[in-house]
Amino acid sequence: MPPLGVVDYGMGNLRSVLNAFEEIGHEAELVTEAEAVAGYDRIVIPGVGAFSQAMANLSRSALDEALDRHVAAGKPLLGICLGMQLICRESDEDGTHQGFGWIDAQVRHFPPAEGLKVPHMGWNAIEIARENPLLREVNSGADVYFVHSYYVDCASAEDAVCTTEHGVRFASVIAKENVFGMQFHPEKSQNIGMQLLRNFATLH
């Protein structure tokens, strides 16, 4: 299988994502130049950090335009954690900021509630709302590992293929055509996370 590209835009623990793909036997390479994106059939946008800074970094390197072309060509793309939020239309983090808009969704801060810990950190269950090839051999109720203070609110329920409860019920896996997102960290989610990455790497 050809290697997939993991976008390096200066944010997030890239090594753990690369190691996870290596663990499942699928080669992955860092992508730092916009021109290199076209050479990959599959792209992963990982990330931890601030939404606006991430979009600024992607724009500065012209990676944003290259990723737009990748998606427009119908090639699979996966966003992880902050990467999932970037594929949405807009974020409320530190003002209002535009994302890629491949999926019509708003990124919102968890509302304050008594006893609710923010950031949402640790293991929590994903409930499957609708079937998707990304979820092959993954059962509803499986626990995965989260670290985030903002959640994704999809305009269309069709785009939220898994949901999770943390004060509010939010989209924890999103998918629309060739674009996919996971709010949790599959690379830290043991066997379930490895299965999800394997599914993405072998999507037809």
List the catalytic residue out of 26, 70, 166, 185: 185
CA angle 155, 77, 101 (to 5 degrees): 35
- For residue 90, give both structure tokens: 């807009």
- In the numeric block, which tokens belong to residue 41? 């059939």
Q: What is the rounded distance in angstroms from the CA atom of residue 9 to the CA atom of residue 70? A: 16
- Annotate 101-143 with three-state secondary structure: CCEEEEEEECCCCCCCCCCEEEEEEEEECCCCHHHCCCCCCEE
Active site residue 162: no
Annotated catalytic residue, options 26, 70, 81, 93: 81
Give the pair of three-digit tokens for residue 80: 């992880």
How would you write 47-114 as a 3-class SS string? Answer: CCCCHHHHHHHHHHCCHHHHHHHHHHCCCCEEEECHHHHHCEEEECCCCCEECCCCEEEEEEECCCCC
Annotation says 90 is catalytic: no
Query: Active site includes 185?
Result: yes
- From the candidates 88, 148, 162, 187, which is the catalytic residue? 187
Any idea which residue has 């499957």 for tokens? 128
d(CA 197, CA 40): 16
Assess contact for 52 and 97: CB atoms under 8 A: yes
What are the residue numbers of the active site?
A: 81, 185, 187
